[in-house]
Amino acid sequence: MDPQSTGELLRNLLTVAWLLPLAGFVAEIYWLRWSHRLSKTAAYCAVACIGLGFICSASALITWGVATRGAAFSDAHGGHESGHHAEQHHEEHEPQLGAAEGEKVAAADPHNHDNDKKHDHKNDEHKDAHAATEHAGMPKAFSGTFYRLAKFGALNVSLDWYIDSLTLVMFTMVTFIATCIHLFAIGYMKDELTEEYEDHEVHTSHGHFTRPGRFHRFFSYLSLFCFSMLGLVLAGNIFQVFIFWELVGVSSYLLIGFYIERKSASTAANKAFIMNRVGDFGFLIGLMILWTWCGTFQFADVDHDPGLFTMIRGNDGKIDVSEDGKQVYLRDAHGHRLESNGKPSTIGYLLLIAAGCGIFAGCIGKSAQFPLQTWLPDAMEGPTPVSALVHSATMVAAGVYLAARFYPVFTPEVLLVIAYVGCITLFVAATIALVVTDIKRVLAYSTISQLGYMMLAIGVAGWGAGLFHLVTHAFFKSLMFLCSGSVIAGCHHVQEMPRMGGLRRKMPITAYTMLIGVVAISGLAIPVLNIGLSGFYSKDEIVASAMAYSNANRVHFLLFLTPLVTAGITAFYMFRLWFLTFYGEPRDQHVYDHCHESPRIMTTPLIALSILAASCAWGWGTSGTGNEGPLFKLIAFSETVPSTEAVTLNGLTIPSHQGHHSDVHAVHGKAGLLALIAAFTGAIFAYLMYGSRVINPAEIRRQLPGVYDFLLDKWRFDVLYDAMFVRPVHIVSAWCADFDKKVLDAILHASASVTVLVARWDRLFDETMVDGIVNMVGSVTRSIGYSLRVVQTGRLRQYVMWIAVGVVVLFGVLFTSLPK
């Protein structure tokens, strides 16, 4: 198949897989319109949607495999070892790029996507002579646009898609796990199939709380989540990632708060959403910086406009830093320096770091990394299938996915931040997991810790290792969550491990599938042969990357030491969980007596997942296992900035990863051995303390009360945040409201009173002064008249007298005053 039609086929398949759950969501949310509360049909609808989605995704993966002639599965590194060769191939691709762009299926090839098999592998059965020429034209990633969201002059925002092997792996993984979990949930949520669901954890003023069951609602939320998650994976630009980022956030909010009547659940949901928003605040800053300086959100190049990856990394995978180290030159689609108005376009190096850290802040929120990790344990308020799907396998891994996807934009400094955040997280969470007794919360802390591993891996440039662990972790952690769900359902909603014990006799399938998960996460393997379950390989890979990094940068030795120690801690608390729950004698007879194995609809997904948890990293007859197995190859195939040689920038060295002579490969054996020793140590301690009970854990607890309380209080983060953020926000908000009432309104009221006062004065002035003058004129006239009326006697003779006198006076005046 030619690249263009392959791209279209992949896009169509994945789009169907993406949109089916949305259709499911719309149908299920109104399920009561055409069905009744006691029917399971809503669940079947959801399962059908996501199941079809899985089929589509798997077909897409196979299509990809066929199109690349299996090269993607078996040989990821071949091309990268011969850099020059890759350059030549890139030139050859240009015409094809041009041909494809009219169809909106532009091949994204920021780097040497050369897949031909220069390099030899012992077991490479798929190698054939034609392959090299055949899929030389097959790009490393396909991308295109669904439709435009907005356009402002030269600025363009659209909904895009970006498909590479990572996308395909994520799609297949998410849809598969989601299908399993949907099936499991049919059994787990069957309590909701009732008109009168009684919730024992909620008390009302009338006693017990009952409500109609919300079976269909649960599945509609799950479908909404699947839609958002797949959209996030399919997204072709960072803005679109942000859109779906928030949508998975809101699905998570709805699912955590599924038991809306429980205060703890709705509070946990709020906490999850708001803490994610804190991370998104950083994300937004990153978006703003990139938007302002690069003017695009695209990952891949569109036509001749460069995407972000090309802009920052060019075609050679290197950041083009100016002489003084303060500016980074942006590159156009051909890898040359981008120019605008005759000046080269640049972005400040510090700004690029800020952008990277900002985007990573979003990842911190979503993946519950330090310092925003506290929401995830609380999120366990949701039903267990939710914890399995959203809060272990998929959504929380989205942070890691984004960090990996956005890897080309991260400078070494950002990577260092990522590594340290991951490092701190994995240690903090693992230590808390040591003392937690709620079975789900142990798993929650374990999830945080494992996500920390992944972040660390990406930070130390172990790109493939981090994503490898993401996939293996998704399988074994969702498996373990489902097992814990099975236990919780079997024990009638008891979650405290001290009340369990010996359950393996009552629920064997759950117990032993769980054991597979525990072994996988602990990274146990058969020494010498180096055969283990999936987690062994991926953790091995991470530790090796970390070791290579700390070898290259001696200052950062903690980045290696911490994951190594934590590997032991991990093994310890996971085995502690298993021993406490399934091993030994029952500690609460009542719980034990009423406990039963889960029905088949719940155990089948457990078995399916346990098979993959055990085996997904194996070679299956191809080139090898672990980092030479098909899964790892498939993931590493889409690495956008492969490190073929050690690169040093600003004093930070990124060790080389690709091939048999790389820095990582050199330390692989040593690192694997150390990790294995740590894991065994942890597991043995767990057995001694909780299995054979040779060591009494209570004794240790008594001897270290401070540490124990500190850990039990989750390092007191909640208290700290409450004092640092929650209360100040409330205080400031009270200030603002008061300011309105007491200052702004007071000013307004004061001005109103002043106006009234002025009006009063005005009235007074009017009444006294203005009216006074007028009245005075009148009254004076009147009084003069009164005084004159005395003369008017009415006596005739007197008048005559006046006349006479008047005439005399007149004459007198005339004669005296007139001149002669």
> Which positions from 263 through 302 interact with another protein, judged by CB under 8 A?
263, 266-267, 269-270, 273-274, 277-278, 280-281, 284-285, 287-289, 291-292
CB of 193 to another protein, least distance (A): 17
Site string for another protein, 555-574 (x = CB under 8 A): --------------------
| Of 216, 307, 672, nearest in space to 465 by CA | 672
Q: For residues 734-793, which are near another protein according to CB under 8 A?
A: 734-740, 744-745, 748, 788-789, 791-793
Shortest reach from residue 266's CB to another protein, in Å: 4
Identity of the residue, 242 or 299, whose beta carbon is nearer to another protein in the bound complex: 242
Site string for another protein, 673-702 (x = CB under 8 A): ------------------------------
Radius of gyration of the chain (CA): 39
Scan residues 48-107 and list those touching another protein (CB under 8 A): none
Nearer to another protein, 738 or 771 (CB): 738
Bridge partners of residue 151, in order along the sequence: 156
Report the first-to-last Cα separation within the chain, whole angstroms.
142
Q: Which among 130-138, 196-204, 463-471, 546-554 is the span making contact with another protein, rule CB under 8 A?
A: 196-204
Residues 798-817 that bind another protein (CB under 8 A): 800-801, 804
Beta bridge partners of 787: none
Buried b (16+ CB within 10 A) or exposed e, 425-461: bbbbbbbbbbbbbbbbbbbbbbbbbbbbbbbbbbbbb
Residue count at the site for another protein (CB under 8 A)?
A: 73
Kindly give, in sequence order, each residue whose CB lies less than 8 Å from that of residue 176, ignoring residues fewer than 6 positions away.
54, 57, 58, 612
Q: Which pair of tokens denotes residue 611?
A: 């098979």
d(CA 733, CA 596): 51
The percent of the chain in helix, strand and coil, each rounded to the nearest 5, is: 70, 10, 25
- Residue from 9, 16, 250, 350 in contact with another protein (CB under 8 A): 250
Whichever of 84 and 789 has its CB closer to another protein, that residue is 789
Identify residues 114-173 at the interface with another protein (CB under 8 A).
Answer: 147-155
Member of 48, 193, 260, 712 binding another protein (CB under 8 A): 260
Task: Tell me if 247 contacts another protein by CB under 8 A.
Answer: yes
Closest CA to 122 of 624, 563, 458, 618: 624
What's the rounded Cα separation, in Å, for the pair 516 and 284? 40
List binders of another protein among 199-218 (CB under 8 A).
199, 202-206, 209, 211
Quote the CA–CA distance of 234 and 162 in Å, as a whole number: 6
Q: Does 243 bind another protein (CB under 8 A)?
A: yes
Q: To the nearest whole angstrom, how small is the minimum distance from the Cβ of residue 201 to another protein?
A: 10
Nearer to another protein, 229 or 443 (CB): 229
Taking the C-alpha atoms of residue 74 and residue 207, their distance in angstroms, rounded to an integer, is 63
Cβ closest to another protein, residue 526 vs residue 731: 731
229 Cβ neighbours under 8 A, 6+ residues apart: 174, 178, 244, 248, 251, 394, 395, 398
Closest distance to another protein from the beta carbon of 369 (Å): 17
Phi-psi region for residue 818, left (φ > 0), alpha (ψ -120 to 50) or beta? beta
CB of 362 within 8 A of CB of 282? yes
Please give the single-letter amino acid code of residue 505. R
Q: What is the 3-state secondary structure (H, E, C) of 719-776?
A: HHHHHHHHHHHHHHHHHHHHHHHHHHHHHHHHHHHHHHHHHHHHHHHHHHHHHHHHHH
Nearer to another protein, 363 or 631 (CB): 363
Question: In whole angstroms, how close is the CB of 248 to another protein at the nearest point?
Answer: 10
What ranges make up the beta strands (E) of 415-497? Answer: none
Binders of another protein among 608-667, rule CB under 8 A?
none
**Closer by beta carbon to another protein, 277 or else 587:** 277
Least Cβ distance, residue 225 to another protein (angstroms): 13
Shortest distance, position 425 Cβ to another protein, whole Å:
21
**Based on CB atoms, which residue is closest to another protein, 202 or 434?**
202
The reply to whether 795 sits near another protein by the rule CB under 8 A is yes
Place of tokens 């004698």: 585
Distance CA(364)–CA(275), nearest Å, equals: 10
Cα gap 564→681, rounded to integer Å: 12
> CB of 267: closest distance to another protein in angstroms?
7
Closer to another protein by CB, 152 or 761: give it: 152
Q: Which is nearer to another protein, 348 or 502 (CB)?
A: 348
Strands (E) in 153-292, as ranges, are 155-164, 197-204, 207-211
Nearest approach, Cβ of residue 92 and another protein (Å)? 36
Q: What x/- string results for residues 10 through 29 when contact with another protein is judged by CB under 8 A?
A: -------------------x
Looking at 367-438, list the stretches that DSSP marks H as alpha helix, in order from N- to C-terminal side.
Answer: 375-378, 384-388, 395-405, 412-435
Interface residues for another protein in 453-512 (CB under 8 A)? none
Six-digit token pair at 4? 């263009």
Closer residue to another protein (CB): 56 or 287 = 287
The minimum distance between CB 222 and another protein, in angstroms, equals 16
Please, what is the minimum distance in Å from the beta carbon of residue 152 to another protein? Answer: 4
244 lies in the site for another protein, by CB under 8 A: yes
* Beta-strand pair 207-211/197-204: antiparallel
Residue whose CB is less far from another protein, 753 or 768: 753
Closest to another protein by CB, 48 or 149? 149
Q: Nearest to residue 404, comparing CAs of 331, 471, 354?
A: 471
Instruction: Tell me how far, at minimum, the Cβ of 746 lies from another protein, in Å.
Output: 10
- Shorter beta-carbon distance to another protein: residue 203 or 600: 203
Two structure tokens written together for 252: 């998570």
Among positions 84, 130, 343, 797, the unique one binding another protein when judged by CB under 8 A: 797
Query: Looking at beta carbons only, is 176 or 259 nearer to another protein?
Result: 259
Q: Is cis: bond before 630, omega within 30 of 0?
A: no
Shortest gap between Cβ of 720 and another protein (angstroms)?
17
Q: Which tokens in the block code for residue 669?
A: 């054996």
